Amino acid sequence: MLLKATAILRWAAALLSLSEPFAAAHRSNFTYDRHNFLLDGAPIKLIGGQMDPQRIPPQYWTQRLQMAKAMGLNTIFSYIFWNNIEPTQGEWNFEGRNDIARFMRLAQQEGLYVVLRPGPYICGEREWGGFPAWLSQIPGMAVRQNNKPFLDASQKYLEQLGKHLVRTHISKGGPILMTQLENEYGSFGNDKVYLQAFADMLKANFDGFLYTNDGGGKSYLDGGTLHGILAQTDGDPRTGFAARDKYVTDPTMLGPQLDGEYYVTWIDDWSSNSAHQYTSGDATKTKKVLDDLDWILAGNNSFSIYMFHGGTNWGFENGGIWASNRLNAVTSSYDYGAPLDESGRPTELYRQIRDTISKHVPAGSIPAIPSLPNLTTINDFKLQPAVALFDTRDNKPTVQSTHPVTMEKLGQAYGFVLYEHKVANAVKGSIAPGDGPRDRVLVYVNGVKAGVIDKTYAKPATVNVDLKKGDVLQLFVENLGRIDFNQQLKEQQKGIVGNVTVGGKTVLEGWSAYSLPLTKLPSAITDKNTKAPEIKDGRTPVFYKGTFSLPKGTNNDLSGDTFLSLPNGIKGTVWVNGNHLGRYWVVGPQQSLYIPGAYLHGGNRPNDVVVLELEPKANTEMIGRGLATREWANHPDPNVV
């Protein structure tokens, strides 16, 4: 009886408080007036944080949500990634990491509300901002514009997502409060016809009201806002809130202030010169974060921390940012220096933000921080050469053509393409792959590396070749991630786009293209009859394989979490038990890959590791090890002299 009475008192306090809404068991009404968000007529502040379910193993969704609640959050803001849900046009996947409705229900069970950010464009340092690669092959396609092919494709996506989430809105007893229209559209354009078309689609498929989210400046707000839609800002709250008060004069756009993305730090990208971004442990940066959040809450306003928990860009899912004439390719880790780190463990910043929030909510309303096991250490294990990547390609080229075809023309979204040309007439000089490298191109002549043309540099290296008749020229192209933020995202084809020239004038004609998406691992890796390749410097990429077992006392749960280090690797990508973890690259700043214990086998059962090393070294033993404390570091690029 006492427990029941306590529960009733807590339920009543939650209704009255601005900080801890209960998990709705009935249909509710979420709306707003000029100064407050309102839940069933009572004011509520959204104390939120960004956490994207598709970046987190589903086995860990509940734990991550519990950690959000224990930091004092009451709302989760979530991007949805269209390219994961419809990887092939017309084929829908709402399973595993894409079971968004299940994530919403789990959030509700933990007493959390959700703000939906469905895109279709979400930025988020995702491949092409969440757009599926096949969009670029639709005739007449122009993204984020009043363009019929784009609107038609987007409508189908929103209809499918709407059906999937139909029972998760607050009006139907679910946790979703409101839905974002587009994403920082004022940083891209100002087409109000386009915005209205998307607003109509969202209203037709999702309950509740819409809001826009833009940077705190006049041009951003002029371009990204829409009559009748609540306007919000992101970034620095003082600048953003003041900008909205000054530049948004349409009363139908006005309401309570929300910092839709309060940045605790920034992203990481692959480069010898790009150090890991963090705030936790930095006194100056931490003070700024705590002062800002305290200021927002003291003013009776709302926020969403970007990111509360970043998670992981699994496999080839990372995007890139075009800046300073180079591709800033985002790391596989999306740790983001977030209060809850990539493995779901609280940082010092987490606890400090929790203390700040606690000053603005009823005493005792924030639950205790759940106890978590430490990460585990895996002793060194050997990785043996298994098969050369080029030996796993089909006997016949995917496409033969006069000039190279793009990755998309091969029906491929991610991974690699091998372009091969047999030299008919001797030629020498610098080689130019198409209209310029869009990613990273390894150049081989007769199977020996001649150099690397890498667009993560503003001025990629010049690779000179001296080709004789009968030589085989190979251009191996890696998609490092389509650009997710910048005007460049309008056209995002990968591979070689245009002609290949040598010496600035000779066009090479006659190409075979081999599609190597690596959506699944080649069977030759485990075929006992496959002959292991001899490792020589400057030769083509090689698959390595090995196994490890979890230490005694750990299991395939949080206790088995570890960070995989490949101390002798240069660049490549890794699978563990068939799960594609992502990329590694000696340049850093990421020097280890997160392995969730949920992806591992417990007991003495071995865990299979496959590593594709793009630049194998002779007389170098490939080993792996699991770290209980992850590594961040930068090293020189061995391809830069």
Burial 107-131 (b: 16+ CB within 10 A, else e): bbebbbbbbbbbbbbbbbbbbbbbb
CA-based Rg of the chain, rounded to a whole angstrom? 26
Measured CA to CA, the distance from residue 591 to residue 585 in angstroms comes to 7
Strands 258-263 and 302-306: parallel
Crossing angle for the helix pair 237-247 and 283-298, nearest 10 degrees?
Answer: 40
**Which listed residue (184, 408, 613, 615) is catalytic?**
184
The residue annotated as part of the active site, out of 261, 342, 420, 615, is 261
Sort 13 into a burial class: Cβ within 10 Å, 0-12 / 13-18 / 19+.
Answer: middle
Strands 47-50 and 75-79: parallel
Report d(CA 223, CA 241) in Å as an integer: 17
* Contact between 155 and 201 (Cβ < 8 Å): yes
Residue recorded with tokens 């956490």: 51
In the residue annotation, 184 being an active-site residue is answered as yes
CA torsion 566→388→427→454, rounded to 10°?
-30
- Report whether 165 contacts 115 (CB < 8 A): no
Query: In this structure, what DSSP letter does residue 533 have?
Result: P
Instruction: Identify whether the C-beta of residue 144 lies closer than 8 Å to the C-beta of residue 194.
Output: yes
Burial-class residue 525 by CB neighbours within 10 Å (0-12, 13-18, 19+).
middle
CB atoms within 10 A of CB 78: 21
Please tell me whether residue 11 adopts helix, strand or coil conformation.
helix
3-class SS shares of the chain: helix, strand, coil, % to 5? 25, 30, 45
- 261 is an active site residue: yes
User: What's the token pair of residue 507?
Assistant: 């066009």
Q: Are 124 and 109 in contact (CB under 8 A)?
A: no
CB 223 within 8 A of CB 190: yes
Length of the chain: 641
Structure tokens at 111: 């007493």
The DSSP code for 499 is: -
Centroid of chain to Cα 355: 29
The whole-angstrom separation of Cα 111 and Cα 74 is 7
Task: Round to whole Å and give the CA distance between 415 and 133.
Answer: 12
> Which is it for the CA torsion 268, 68, 113, 598, positive or negative?
positive
Report the candidate in 31, 139, 74 with the shortest Cα–Cα distance to residue 408.
Answer: 139
Number of CB atoms found within 10 A of residue 528's CB: 4
C-alpha to C-alpha distance for 622 and 475, rounded to whole angstroms? 25
Residues with a catalytic annotation lie at: 184, 261
